[in-house]
Amino acid sequence: MKLNEHYKNLQESYLFSTVAHKVNAYAAAHPSAKILRLGIGDVTLPLAPAVVAAMAAAVEEMGRKETFRGYGPEQGYPFLRESIRQYYARRGVTLAADEIFISDGAKSDLGNILDLFAAENAVLVPDPVYPVYVDTNVMAGRRILFADAAESNGFLPMPDEKVQADIVYICSPNNPTGAAYSREQLAAWVNYARRRGAVILYDAAYECFVREEGLARSIYEVEGAEECAVEFCSFSKTAGFTGTRCGYTVVPHALAGGALNKMWLRRQTTKFNGVPYIVQRGAAAVFTEEGEKQIAENLAVYRRNAARLCRCLDGLGIWYTGGKNSPYVWLRCPGFDDSWKFFDYLLEEANVVGTPGCGFGKNGQGYFRLTAFGGEDTTAEAAERLTRLLSRG
């Protein structure tokens, strides 16, 4: 028996585990401290009533012999796949239902999709980046290249023809920076991938936050993307499913001459038993008229939180990006070159928790991420504390 030696190349600790350890240690030493957590991107508002009602009805179905369901289709029930197809259609994107695969979340599929690609493929990821993109490829032993994101390019790196990549990761709106690509910018990436014969793995988990005209919510808004891109999306941030677990991945028939769609279907039917029927009924309710209205109300809360954080930083004269089309606000650490030192400073002096930018890559050093997923009262109090603390210096 031999172990996968590539695991030795992983960072010793996952970023958010380190954050949790630091916060828990501080809380244990200061039990009376009221710690405000704007770090991990977990939602705080409950599931929409339409979703809860659909799931409750599905539970009732599972309790009656005539409507009980056992194993479902690994690729997802037709009713949910069709709901998602229509959701795209309302935004001008044409998909076939069998190009849509239901999953237990985008994070899982972003890692699992790598089963379809040879280990010798070179992978291009932005820096800073969501750690899962890097870690899953480190585990497989792939060569990883980095596209530099910085203030100078708005944290939106563009293709470099000198870089020879086979798999390209794009997240828009981006985690951690909140920056979002325009359709024209994505078109440049699509053209790069088509010329290279590369595949784009497009993480659209935060697409529901995009409101600005000209920005893309799906890479399939770009002509030719169906020939080179796989899109991953999730109900986690759209509808509060972080604890319920449901997402979907789009693998077009036009990609790799249809081979990738067939391979993904084969992979899923072999390694995945599908998302529970009850959860899929709840997910389908997201796309009903009532569900969309209720979810829009929840999203409005998070948007108000993001706007509040942006106003706070504007008042302090601190550079940032994100917030407008994203639940994340990415700021330059004022007075600190080290993101972890700024993390410790905020925790100790204001009892506010964020995420150090350096945990997302070398280009994140000196930057910091705040999330808008806290409660409105929590966000308002955090903004007040930040204003009091940071206005001193």
The tokens 């928790």 sit on which residue?
A: 353
Predicted confidence band of residue 180 (pLDDT cuts 50, 70, 90): very high
Predicted confidence band of residue 40 (pLDDT cuts 50, 70, 90): confident
Q: How far apart are CA 351 and CA 382, in angstroms?
A: 9
Cα 248 from chain centroid? 12
The pLDDT of residue 16:
84
Predicted confidence band of residue 393 (pLDDT cuts 50, 70, 90): low
Q: Are strands 229-234 and 199-203 parallel, antiparallel or unpaired?
A: parallel
Predicted confidence band of residue 267 (pLDDT cuts 50, 70, 90): very high
The pLDDT of residue 144:
98
Q: What is the pLDDT of residues 189-220, one digit of tens each?
A: 999 999 999 999 999 999 999 999 999 999 99
The pLDDT of residue 392:
76
The pLDDT of residue 305:
98
Nearest to 247 by CA among 96, 104, 79: 104
DSSP 355: E
Q: How far apart are CA 328 and CA 349, in angstroms?
A: 22
Where do the domains of the chain lie?
5-47+291-390, 49-288
For residues 208 and 298, is the Cβ–Cβ distance under 8 A?
Answer: no
Q: Which residues pair with 146 in a beta bridge?
A: 125
Q: How far apart are CA 269 and CA 101, in angstroms?
A: 11
CATH superfamily of 5-47+291-390: Aspartate Aminotransferase, domain 1 (3.90.1150.10)
Mean pLDDT of 38-50: 94
Mean pLDDT of 292-297: 98
Predicted confidence band of residue 15 (pLDDT cuts 50, 70, 90): confident
Q: How far apart are CA 48 and CA 374, in angstroms?
A: 17
* Pick among 3.40.190.10, 3.90.1150.10, 3.40.50.300, 3.40.640.10: CATH of 49-288: 3.40.640.10
Least confidently predicted of 50-59, 104-113, 163-172, 384-393: 384-393
Check whether 14 has a pLDDT greater than 90: no
Mean pLDDT of 61-88: 98
Nearest to 219 by CA among 183, 192, 195: 183
The pLDDT of residue 255:
97
**Which tokens go with 222?**
């770009």
Check whether 12 has a pLDDT greater than 90: no
Q: How far apart are CA 24 and CA 259, in angstroms?
A: 47
What is the share, in percent, of the chain residues with pLDDT greater than 90?
A: 97
